Amino acid sequence: MDFSSIRLITFDCYGTLIDWETGMLAALRPLFARGGKVSDRQLLEHYGEIEAELEAGPYLAYRQVLSQTAQEMGRRLGVKISEDDGRSFANSLTTWQPFPDTVTALQSLARRFRLGIISNIDDDLFAETRKKLEVEFTLIVTAQKVQSYKPALRNFQEALERSGLKRLEILHAGQSLYHDILPANLLGIRNVWVNRPSIRPGAGAAKPAEAQPTLQVSSLAELAEMLKR
């Protein structure tokens, strides 16, 4: 792949830069332990399906999406999850940490490219996460700003318009085939599938999908090294 035209790299945040699988499981396990043995894989499968269902409906703040997802998971798995439990799960997002390679890779990429974020998140929640990433983002498109959730094309179109760049000057990197690679392909935006190791290979905590990325890597460190060369 020829990267010479790339001026801006946009990133999905949670699952790509932030280890949401570890973070959400740490918050969900104690809640679902009340109902007996529920495996981590079951938790991620239900989370991915229910979150996608809620995001496809009328716009809700992401805090509500997280809270309602946890409560609906409880209903489907036969475990009582209260509204307070749902709010606690939503608030846990501010404690989720970057992957070990994230900050160093972002800092390396920032020496050559503008960096941006296209994330299914509320502004105040991302403000807390942003402190952990230790780089400047010249473009930030949140679900709250556009009142829709990826894989909606609107989120990517907003990024295109605000960037002032041509499609060939943008590279989008994301962990989710469903949320990131599918819509990027539809808009003709070159993309990188950051296919990190997961309990659910190829999907993680996202809804499974099939899509052909422009490029595939297993970590952000691999992408940074490739672009450095």
Distances (CA, A) of 84 to 37, 64, 79: 22, 12, 14
Query: What is the residue-wise DSSP string for 109-178?
Result: HHTTSEEEEEESS-HHHHHHHHHHH-S--SEEEEHHHHT--TTSHHHHHHHHHHHT--GGGEEEEES-II
Catalytic annotation, pick one of 12, 19, 122, 180:
12
Burial of 229 (0-12, 13-18, 19+ CB in 10 A): exposed
Q: Which amino acid is at 35?
A: G
Give the C-alpha separation, 46 to 70, whole Å: 9
Asked if 122 is an active-site residue, the reply is no
Q: Which residues does the annotation mark as catalytic?
A: 12
